[in-house]
Amino acid sequence: MNDPPLVTDLEFQDVGEGFIFNITPLDIDGDDVIIQFIPHTNEGWGQSFFGAVIEPQTDGSYIYHTGIIPTMTDFIFYGSSGN
């Protein structure tokens, strides 16, 4: 039986253009974990609730690019799955 990966909620303060962050999933089966943003593109990019763009990096980190109208609060929705 394959157990799903566990990803904890993240909260960041003072986030602006170019903010770099990591999502660190835990998979007890040792599977490779895929992070998929909601909504997303096929290349792993994502979009936040208020229009910011999430850009994946080759080292596994992500860059947050502010939306057209920067806000004090934003939300990023994502899911994870193990292979």
- Residues 23, 6: Cα–Cα separation, whole Å: 11
CA torsion 70-18-47-52 (nearest 10°) is: 10
Tens of pLDDT along the chain (83 residues) come to: 677 888 888 888 888 899 999 998 888 888 888 888 998 887 889 999 988 999 999 998 999 998 777 778 899 999 888 77
CA torsion 21-25-31-34 (nearest 10°) is: -50
Q: How much is the pLDDT for 18? A: 93
Q: How much is the pLDDT for 72? A: 83
Classify the C-alpha dihedral 2-34-47-49 as positive or negative.
Answer: positive
The pTM of the full predicted model, rounded to 2 decimals, is 0.84
Q: How much is the pLDDT for 20? A: 96
Q: How much is the pLDDT for 33? A: 86
